[in-house]
Structure 1
Amino acid sequence: MIVLLLVLSLLATAFSFPDGILTMEQPKNDGNHWAVLVAGSNTWGNYRHQADVCHAYQILKKHGIPDDRIIVFMYDDIAHNEENPTPGVIINQPNGPNVYEGVPKDYTGENVSPDVFLHVLQGNANQLVGVGSGKVVKSGPNDHIFVNFVDHGGPGILAFGDDTLEADKLMEAIKSMYKQNKYGKMVFYVEACESGSMFNRLLPKDINVYATTASNPDESSYACYYDDKLETFLGDVYSIKWMQDSDKEDLNTETLEKQFKITKAETNTSHVMEYGDLTIGGMTVAEFQGNQQSSVFLSNDIDVDPCKDAVPSEDVPLAILERRLEAAASQTQREQLEEQLRDLIKSRESVKTTIKKIASFATNDHVQTHRVMYSGVRHALNSWDCYKYVLKHLAATCPQLNIPKNDYALRHLYVLVNLCEERVPAETIKEAITKVCG
């Protein structure tokens, strides 16, 4: 028996895999894993979005998906930002490991855009000649695709740098891929405010796509893990929860549905949702995040619950300034931060005033204005043509709202939805926007 154990030990050593990988399995049905990871924002205040995506990359890499089948979108302005006291390092939890190391920067800066993303997802390499790395998803009918998107959001849109990705355009791309047999199964994990609106009543149940979102169609997602040294938030609650689960679970036995239920139960800041073909939830996480079991854990065993210091995404700039003010070491610094805080509060009030004026001019009815603004009524988005038309005009005509980069402004777009759903003509809403901002 002793000799047998010694032989087995020697064999295990001889055939051990690098990077803590303990087992190796081939994807089922002779298919491949593909992954598209997107952090759509930039600036130090949005540190957490790129940190989330870098962490997601490390999970997929450690579980066996090769770099040539992982495509990463990130502005890449955080790791070497002048505000970063540890250049080249990005962390996703307090005292966590460097998740930036080795991350392929396929599309950075201005190439982080919805058009480039849709070309990548659909495998349109001919449209991306000379753009970024040029990598696209070259998937076939047996392949599994995992898409993780992290950024700000609003009704039916995901912020993408200076632009937005509309839900109907995403659906159009997915349905086109399905018709062309470009995937076997596809899974979306989306971290953004009102992210449920990207799939709610839009994602069919019969095209082999499963999606989970950080929030329902009407609420914020939440930032977490404020770091006193970095003076910014390190992660987002939903993202942290699913990634900490992937770090510690055996992905070859855990199902997507189990991961969803764990993430949903532990994310008490927003309502984590699921959409599409829910039968895919019975498949293992490994079939989308990689099926090589890893002994390398990227999440430390820490007692800090990310929900404890969580704040709504739109309140992150306010929370950061308030934290910095509390820690200010000099009177001069306090005065500067107090001025920034006053400016931010003034800007937020301006957003509310602008939107209210637009609603008032569009309806010319005090009761209806109050209803679309304050009654708590949030109509489901059905009038896509009206909404997209007036949203585009709002972004172009009211630059002070800084759409789509201003998450606080994005959280007020429900008023445009309400106006469109109450059949206020699009041209009337457009004229109101021009009158207020033009």
Structure 2
Amino acid sequence: MKFGAQIALLLPLLATLPFVSAQHTSNWAVLVSTSRFWFNYRHLANVLSMYRTVKRLGIPDSQIILMLADDVACNPRNVFPASVFNNADRGLDLYGNNIEVDYRGYEVTVENFIRLLTDRVEPDTPRSKRLLTDDRSNVFVYMTGHGGNEFLKFQDAEEISAFDIADAFEQMWEKKRYHQMLFMIDTCQANTMYSKFYSPNILATGSSKLDESSLSHHGDNDVGVAVIDRYTYYNLEFLENNVKNASSKHTMKDLFDSYDIGKIHSTPGVRTDLFNRKLDEVLIMDFFGNVQNVEVDAEGDVEKWKVDAEELSRLAAKITMPGAGCAKNATKSGATVPSPPDAQKILAMKVEEKTSPIRNAIGVCALGACAAAWFAATLLGKS
């Protein structure tokens, strides 16, 4: 079968394929503990647990922004120096040697958080402190600390409101800084913090409803304080037991369905009205893991691809059957349409052209002129 005929057969099939619209090409995580002081140990453990999880599932440190007071690991009251644990068995050191803190101590402010999201940072800000996302980036924002009705405290010095976060996310959307977003927050009255969101493609979840506290899970007698909060603990339990690697097919619906008020001791909430996908079609890895996809054409126009494929199909058909273009006219005039072999023979004869005597004479003259020029140049060079 000729190559043109193969194209003619394949392209109509390609035109009918269900082309997938442009998808996200990177995952980013912004992880924030807004507390400080030793008695808020559990908030640090919360955010470091999420940090470990997204790294385990493939998001590199270059795409994780970690904001925390970082005053616990080396606190004089810590009987396990340079270590942070989220369980009384102390089987896993969350601090370890591979932690990269991007905003530390008094850098964790409301202003810096909003500037980070909206990319309104100083020109000399290093890449490690910037959220370098675009309209093909999925962003996971996790926050934990002390809060109340539509506010979250930052280091006992200031507060961020639900309106502040909602407006920051809207700026991100207007500036094409995210494709889809997962907002997760573990604090008292957490669900009020996403009540003011109005930007598209945001999926939000929180640990407790209005007038309800978010409680700690358990403490460590040797550490002397609670080491993790309940809501975060049961999210991690599901992720550790079910999402073991990047090939996991578990969805966000699976995660949300695992929430048990009897275990969490508060009422977790989920807001989906701004989100444009069904939860049972959204993989957990869409936010918690790495992305290997590469987008070739940023436009992702499905209809344009189909039209182009159909046009190529028609062109290939004409190349394969050269007589097809005039077949209709020939039939109308009563002429006989040649068979494909005849058509190929006619084309072959058109390609062959006999050389005329005049063209031969012109060629000889041209060669003679070139030879004379070369000879003259040689004589001049000798003289």
**How far apart, CA to CA, are the structure 2 residues paired with 1:112 and 1:53?**
14
1:224 aligns with 2:217: yes
1:106 aligns with 2:106: no
SS of residue paired to 2:129:
coil
The Cα offsets for residues 200-227 of structure 1, whole Å up to 9 and x where unpaired, read as 2x223x6000110000122110012111
Partner of 1:175: 170
Partner of 2:189: 194
8 A Cα contact 1:123 1:139, kept in partner: no
SS of residue paired to 2:122:
helix
Partner of 1:52: 46
Unaligned stretches of 5+ residues in structure 1: 1-27, 293-438
SS of residue paired to 1:126:
coil
Partner of 1:281: 279
Shift of 1:180: 1.9
Identical-residue share of aligned pairs (%): 26
The Cα offsets for residues 103-162 of structure 1, whole Å up to 9 and x where unpaired, read as 2111111111111111112223327x46x9751211111110001101000111011111
Partner of 2:114: 118
**How far apart, CA to CA, are the structure 2 residues paired with 1:113 and 1:120?**
11
Structure 2 length normalisation: TM-score? 0.65
5 Å-filtered alignment, 1:11-30, equals 29=23
Partner of 1:239: 232
8 A Cα contact 1:220 1:270, kept in partner: yes
Choose which of 252, 255, 272 in structure 2 pairs with 1:256: 252
- The alignment yields a C-alpha RMSD, in angstroms, of 1.9
The Cα offsets for residues 62-107 of structure 1, whole Å up to 9 and x where unpaired, read as 1110001001011111111101111111001121300112221111
**How far apart, CA to CA, are the structure 1 residues paired with 2:141 and 2:203?**
10
The Cα offsets for residues 384-436 of structure 1, whole Å up to 9 and x where unpaired, read as xxxxxxxxxxxxxxxxxxxxxxxxxxxxxxxxxxxxxxxxxxxxxxxxxxxxx
The Cα offsets for residues 12-52 of structure 1, whole Å up to 9 and x where unpaired, read as xxxxxxxxxxxxxxxx8251110000011111110000011
5 Å-filtered alignment, 1:48-197, equals 48-95=42-89, 96-101=91-96, 102-126=98-122, 129=124, 135-161=129-155, 162-197=157-192
**How far apart, CA to CA, are the structure 2 residues paired with 1:113 and 1:264?**
33
Structure 1 length normalisation: TM-score? 0.57
Unaligned stretches of 5+ residues in structure 2: 1-21, 292-383
8 A Cα contact 2:26 2:290, kept in partner: no
Letter in 1 for 2:217: C
Cα pair distance change 1:265/1:220, threshold 3 Å: closer
SS of residue paired to 2:184:
strand
Query: Which structure has the larger Rg?
Result: 2
**How far apart, CA to CA, are the structure 1 residues paired with 2:114 and 2:42?**
23
SS of residue paired to 2:258:
helix
5 Å-filtered alignment, 1:242-391, equals 242-250=235-243, 252-265=248-261, 267-276=263-272, 277-278=274-275, 279=277, 281-282=279-280, 283-291=282-290
